[in-house]
Amino acid sequence: MAHIIKTCLGLVIPILFACSLVVARDIADGGNDQPGKCNQKPDQPQDNSNPIQPNITNSDQPDNPNPNQPQDNPNAIKPSIANLDQPDVPQADQPHDNPNPIQPNITTPDQPDNPNPDQPQVNPNITIPDQPDNPNPDKPQDNPNPIQPNISNPDQPDNPNPGQPQDNPNPVQPDIPNPDQPPDNPNPDQPNNPNPDQPQDNPNPDQPGDNQKPGIDQPTDPNAAVADGGSDYTAPPLETGFLGEWVIDNPNAGVAAMQLQLMPNDKLVWYDTTSLGPSGIKMQPEGNCPINPDAKNQPDCYAHAIAYDWRTSAVRTLTLQGDAWCSSGNLWPNGNLAATGGTATGDKAIRMIPNNDDPKADFETRLNVLADVRWYASNVVLPDGSAVVLGGRGSFSYEIVPPSLDFKPRRFDMPFLKETTTPDLGPGRPVENNLYPFQFLLPDGNIFLYANNRAICFEPQTGNVVREYPELAGGSRNYPPSGQSALLPLKLTADNKVINTEVVICGGNSPDAYKVVDARHVTEKQFMPALRDCHRIQPLNQDATWTDEEQMPSGRVMGDLLDLPNADLLMLNGAQSGTSGWEDATDANLTPLLYSPTKPMGNRFKPLNPTTIARMYHSCSALLPDTRILVAGSNMHQFYTFDTQFPTELRVEKFSPPYLDPALDPNRPIIDAKGSDLVLQYGKPFKIAATLQSNETMVLGEIMVTMVYPPFTTHGFSQNQRLLIPALTSIENNVINAVAPGGGTVAPPGYYMLFVNRLGVPGPSVWVHIE
Ligand SMILES: [Cu+2]
């Protein structure tokens, strides 16, 4: 708004009228992704009705720096500039304002042909502003070896023999805490133990929480560890002062990552929408311009979905059908991705892309097959591989969708979703506060469901509510004041009991935060500070209650909360003020947080090195098989917009968490896939062969195996994310004997990244399959 007003003031009087129309449109648009917003408002000017607009220049925009390039779209913030050749076709079910999303005026006929057809052709009209150089010029930016962390330690001499493990010149000192990290409570506002009735160090009385606490005498009898699942460390995890490192992995992936899934074929599939107009990349091969029903059935040469090879950073465009805006998804047991719902043409769609290495693999789509509209819904995979697809705007229901494109959905009412909806403030003025609800499959087969400020547990095959939990006071935690939530790592015993089942919820914002910031409700935006509080609950306990977790060092909405291979978690992305929705947040939270849920209270959140790139609304991240984190996306705006404070973000980053400190490399287990069991059977023993880079022998008590289900991440929630810690029975000659999870309620069928850790230091994973 301020930007547009400023622009208006700089223009001559005859254009003021046009500006007023732009402002009116901005107000109408500026909310979150709403169906039929302007189209349903007869008092709003139609976008195509103002032929004056194309002449508006933006004084903030530099002249075309490259006269050889057509300057067709000088102002990406006004993409719905009139096209007199396009008739206005109001579509009541069309979600977005732009009546001409494919924007023929943005194509560039003078553009040279792609000289390298193997390389994707990026949108020439999109220049990525102020591409920062490698933020750390002392560090190499490219990583020629994706297995190895992209970190060089200037204090370390080069290894003269790369085939040999490098002697550790900087031996890790596990008993010496990081001098930068105060051992005392870093947050003086908060008592170390907010609940004196609760034991301070162990938030989970079923779990020996102190075993990982440095400085405590540890049992040395390996059998003691075996009795507890064999995965508890008998020595403190290794500490490091390394606070992580960011590198740019790709300067322009072409499509902003609104929804993102790592697939077992080592491709990340991400997409935004088909009604968003031009992206940053054209469909491959050149000239592939399929008809786009979400763009008035016009040919659309731009891609809205890609497959991204995390090893090579190569981009391949995919065909997205049925508008997937703010949709959900899940993997099938065979690793195929099902992308469910969205809006308009896609609100009941399912699209599947197979988990294979076919270079032409693409989405196969069925429109109108879901039982209800699934816009802002969330999915959770069940023990039989089908998925609960739950909620969405105005859909107070869920349905069970089998891993198939041809099915009859089973629909169930879910009144809880209506009960937790903050009421509309008027027609077209929703608040909601409960979209993208948090769902977790619990080890008893029921589903923990959190929406707004309440939680229940329900039986998925009947819809019966099994348990209601106390209200979580203090804010709203779901979209638009999107907080962060995760199921904490599930630790298994050799007889396959789950030692701990616990959910954490952090951040979010006030129930009023959206009402005071979104253009649907106000003209003067007020960005309320995001919440800093976190809470935990053990949902299987009778009379489960919320316990106060340590407060975060900074507030956060729209962050991701990802499992790390060593059973810590990482919180990243998001904003410190405002909510989800177009233009509704500011004060990007650039600092990732390491969250160590088993550490003593006061030591659980550790701020890491910040990025330089704001990732707020419509951003994503994912744990990679090499233990790094891929970070992509962010688009606060209705369209791809670059001349603004928080531009549409097409750069891809990778973040190396602290465990990738090169000084820890001697402890890094490297799995021998050929000597390992990669197909697991529920409850059966399996073997993992691995070697330490130090050539030391692995021993029980120092090794933890983890299995991470790759989540579908969107809007700050990683659907289906779970980390399992299987029991270890012995380690013989660097072969780990472990027990596979006992069944599908603990480990839904499918592919998992399996990591081996030595004292908190993970090595690259192998994909294992369990069913
Ligand atoms: Cu969205």
Q: Tell me: the pLDDT tens digits for 497-529?
A: 999 999 999 999 999 999 999 999 999 999 999
More confident residue, 69 or 587: 587
Distance 29 CA to ligand 1 centre (A): 13
Instruction: Please provide residue 665's backbone torsions phi and psi, each rounded to the nearest 5 degrees.
Output: -55, -40
Distance 274 CA to ligand 1 centre (A): 13
Distance 102 CA to ligand 1 centre (A): 20
Report pLDDT digits (tens) over 618-635: 999 999 999 999 999 999
Instruction: Write the CA distances from 241 to 6, 551, 653, 663, 681, integer angstroms.
Output: 46, 22, 22, 10, 39
- Please classify residue 138 by burial: count the beta carbons closer than 10 Å to its beta carbon, then call 0-12 exposed, 13-18 middle and 19+ buried: exposed
Range 737-748 burial, b when 16+ CB lie within 10 A, else e: bbbbbbbbbbbb
What distance in Å separates the CA atoms of residue 165 and residue 173, rounded to the nearest whole number? 19
Q: Which two tokens stand for residue 625?
A: 């098989």
Share above pLDDT 90 across residues of the chain, in percent, rounded to a whole number: 69
Distance 582 CA to ligand 1 centre (A): 9
What distance in Å separates the CA atoms of residue 435 and residue 481, rounded to the nearest whole number? 9
Distance 594 CA to ligand 1 centre (A): 26
CATH code of 212-240+661-770, in short, is 2.60.40.10
Distance 7 CA to ligand 1 centre (A): 27
Distance 638 CA to ligand 1 centre (A): 10
Distance 627 CA to ligand 1 centre (A): 28
Residue type, position 507, single letter: G
Distance 326 CA to ligand 1 centre (A): 4
Report pLDDT digits (tens) over 379-421: 999 999 999 999 999 999 999 999 999 999 999 999 999 999 9
Long-range Cβ contact pairs of 66-72 (< 8 A, separation 24 or more): 68/110, 69/108, 69/110, 69/111, 69/124, 69/125, 70/108, 70/109, 70/110, 70/125, 72/105, 72/106, 72/107, 72/108, 72/125
Distance 399 CA to ligand 1 centre (A): 21
Distance 642 CA to ligand 1 centre (A): 18
Q: What is the pLDDT of residue 123?
A: 53
Distance 170 CA to ligand 1 centre (A): 46
Adjacent-strand bridge partners of 410 = 400
Distance 618 CA to ligand 1 centre (A): 6
Distance 377 CA to ligand 1 centre (A): 11
Adjacent-strand bridge partners of 686 = 738
Distance 73 CA to ligand 1 centre (A): 24
Distance 109 CA to ligand 1 centre (A): 32
Q: Residue 178: pLDDT above 90?
A: no
What distance in Å separates the CA atoms of residue 518 and residue 693, rounded to the nearest whole number? 53
Q: What is the pLDDT of residue 68?
A: 36
Q: Residue 198: pLDDT above 50?
A: no
Most distant CA atoms of the chain, gap in Å: 84
Q: Residue 143: pLDDT above 90?
A: no
pLDDT bin (cut points 50, 70, 90) of residue 229 is low
Q: Residue 14: pLDDT above 90?
A: no
Mean pLDDT lowest among 164-173, 568-577, 652-661 = 164-173
Taking residues 666-686, report their average pLDDT: 98
Distance 639 CA to ligand 1 centre (A): 12
Distance 80 CA to ligand 1 centre (A): 19
Distance 514 CA to ligand 1 centre (A): 14
Q: Which two tokens stand for residue 596?
A: 């160590």
Torsion over CA: 396, 400, 401, 403 (sign): positive
Range 365-386 burial, b when 16+ CB lie within 10 A, else e: bbeebbbbbbbbbbbbbbbebb
Q: What is the pLDDT of residue 20?
A: 35
Distance 581 CA to ligand 1 centre (A): 7
Q: Which residue has the tokens 């622009």?
A: 7
CB 507, CB 532: distance < 8 Å? yes
What distance in Å separates the CA atoms of residue 620 and residue 614, rounded to the nearest whole number? 12
Q: What is the pLDDT of residue 181?
A: 37
Distance 731 CA to ligand 1 centre (A): 47
Distance 477 CA to ligand 1 centre (A): 15
What distance in Å separates the CA atoms of residue 214 and residue 238, rounded to the nearest whole number? 9
Distance 187 CA to ligand 1 centre (A): 33
Distance 691 CA to ligand 1 centre (A): 44
Distance 392 CA to ligand 1 centre (A): 12
Instruction: Write the CA distances from 238 to 172, 177, 211, 664, integer angstroms.
Output: 7, 9, 13, 8
Q: What is the pLDDT of residue 232?
A: 82
Residue type, position 717, single letter: F
Q: Residue 188: pLDDT above 70?
A: no
Distance 580 CA to ligand 1 centre (A): 8
The per-residue pLDDT of the chain, averaged, comes to 79
Distance 244 CA to ligand 1 centre (A): 29
Q: What is the pLDDT of residue 276?
A: 84
Distance 33 CA to ligand 1 centre (A): 6
Distance 111 CA to ligand 1 centre (A): 32
Q: What is the pLDDT of residue 487?
A: 98
Distance 759 CA to ligand 1 centre (A): 39
Paired sense of beta strands 722-725 and 298-299, if any = unpaired
Distance 560 CA to ligand 1 centre (A): 14
Distance 95 CA to ligand 1 centre (A): 12
Distance 338 CA to ligand 1 centre (A): 18
Three-state DSSP at 554 gives: coil
Share above pLDDT 70 across residues of the chain, in percent, rounded to a whole number: 70
Report pLDDT digits (tens) over 326-343: 999 999 999 999 999 999
What distance in Å separates the CA atoms of residue 595 and residue 606, rounded to the nearest whole number? 7
What distance in Å separates the CA atoms of residue 123 and residue 647, rounded to the nearest whole number? 16
Q: What is the pLDDT of residue 230?
A: 63
Please report, for the chain, the start and end positions of each structural domain, with discontinuous segments joined by +. Answer: 2-101, 212-240+661-770
Taking residues 104-129, report their average pLDDT: 40
Paired sense of beta strands 750-758 and 735-739, if any = unpaired
Report pLDDT digits (tens) over 54-83: 222 333 333 333 333 333 333 333 333 223
Distance 304 CA to ligand 1 centre (A): 15
Distance 342 CA to ligand 1 centre (A): 10
Distance 258 CA to ligand 1 centre (A): 7
Q: What is the pLDDT of residue 101?
A: 36
Report pLDDT digits (tens) over 704-738: 999 999 999 999 999 999 999 999 999 999 999 99
Distance 344 CA to ligand 1 centre (A): 14
More confident residue, 217 or 283: 283
Q: Residue 159: pLDDT above 80?
A: no
More confident residue, 195 or 588: 588
